[in-house]
Amino acid sequence: MKRARRYTTPAIVMRVVPFGETSQVVHLATPGHGMVAALIKGAHRPGPEFQGGLALASTGSAHLHRRPRAEMELLRRFRVEEDLRGLRRDLERFYGACHVLSLLRLWMRPYLPAEALFAAALTALRAQAAAPRDRVAGWTAWFEARALAAAGHRPRLEACAACEAPLDPTARLLFSAPAGGVVHDACAPPGPSLRLDEAARQGLVRLYTARLPELKREPLDDSTVKAARSVHDIFVPHVLERRPGTLDTAPRA
Ligand SMILES: [Zn+2]
């Protein structure tokens, strides 16, 4: 894709690393350019552009300058457009946001557009900052579901993910990470799996299919959030082929 040398894009700050005496390297999530690594020269010097450096999870518009032979772009300006200070109100929200940012980093590729993933992260961070505290775990699981779906790993929940035959709601069902969804007891391949009852399966179907306005009107119930947490605890590391450290502190219902 041919890209302009100077461009402006919506962005979320996923990672900030001090660089040299006064600079920072930031990893930005963007909808149209995927992950962008950029240098902020003199980020810690007082000045109107960066006010002492960019904070993690800052959300707004980034003015970038691509340099043909340089590894990193230059971040000329970052206009913070959303107040997400709510994320620092308590540990629940803070750890939830850290988990969203860490998954975003693992799933975003340099210069590969990721509109759905970006939009889901923005929605999740806003909700984690503003929602009642007991809903934070639900929004964290919601982001995982949207990110898994955007990456092509939406779990199979309506029929057996192994043999494709219909599921019997009265029989014993498992969620199997290697099968990629719900399976009959006898169909489960070796690897991480857990027991799932019919109510939890239906809750997961709702998590993966309900539209955003409906979920805002009627949030996920606690038992669904618990089931989603347990399923994602085994499924996210399976899909990523590594266990994100932020999983241990992800908010729980
Ligand atoms: Zn089966």
Q: Is the domain covering 6-80 a CATH 1.25.10.10 domain?
A: no
Q: Which residues contact 110 (CB under 8 A, 6 or more apart)?
A: 34, 35, 36, 37
What is the Å distance from ligand 1's center to 191 Cα?
A: 16
What is the Å distance from ligand 1's center to 209 Cα?
A: 22
Comparing CA positions, the residue from 145, 147, 253, 139 lying closest to residue 208 is 145
What is the Å distance from ligand 1's center to 167 Cα?
A: 8
What is the Å distance from ligand 1's center to 174 Cα?
A: 10
pLDDT at residue 253, as a whole number: 84
What is the Å distance from ligand 1's center to 21 Cα?
A: 59
Question: pLDDT tens-digit profile of 126-146?
Answer: 999 999 999 999 999 999 999
Question: pLDDT tens-digit profile of 12-50?
Answer: 999 999 998 889 999 999 999 999 999 998 876 656 566
Comparing CA positions, the residue from 68, 69, 70, 72 lying closest to residue 28 is 72
Q: Is the domain covering 87-247 a CATH 1.20.1440.120 domain?
A: yes
What is the Å distance from ligand 1's center to 103 Cα?
A: 30
pLDDT at residue 46, as a whole number: 59
What is the Å distance from ligand 1's center to 187 Cα?
A: 5
What is the Å distance from ligand 1's center to 162 Cα?
A: 5
- Report residues of the chain scoring pLDDT below 50: none
Structure tokens at 166: 């219909």
Comparing CA positions, the residue from 87, 103, 89, 93 lying closest to residue 134 is 93
The answer to whether the beta carbons of residues 183 and 169 sit under 8 Å apart is: no
What is the Å distance from ligand 1's center to 238 Cα?
A: 20
The answer to whether the beta carbons of residues 155 and 182 sit under 8 Å apart is: yes
What is the Å distance from ligand 1's center to 180 Cα?
A: 12
Domain boundaries, the chain: 6-80, 87-247
What is the Å distance from ligand 1's center to 165 Cα?
A: 6
Q: What is the pTM of this model?
A: 0.93
- 149-156 long-range contacts, CB within 8 A, separation 24+: 149/116, 149/208, 150/107, 150/114, 150/116, 150/117, 150/120, 151/107, 151/117, 151/239, 153/180, 153/235, 153/239, 154/208, 155/180, 155/181, 155/182, 155/204, 155/208, 155/231, 155/235, 156/180, 156/181, 156/182
pLDDT at residue 3, as a whole number: 62
What is the Å distance from ligand 1's center to 189 Cα?
A: 10
pLDDT at residue 49, as a whole number: 62
CA 81 to mean position of chain CA atoms: 20
pLDDT at residue 53, as a whole number: 74
What is the Å distance from ligand 1's center to 160 Cα?
A: 5
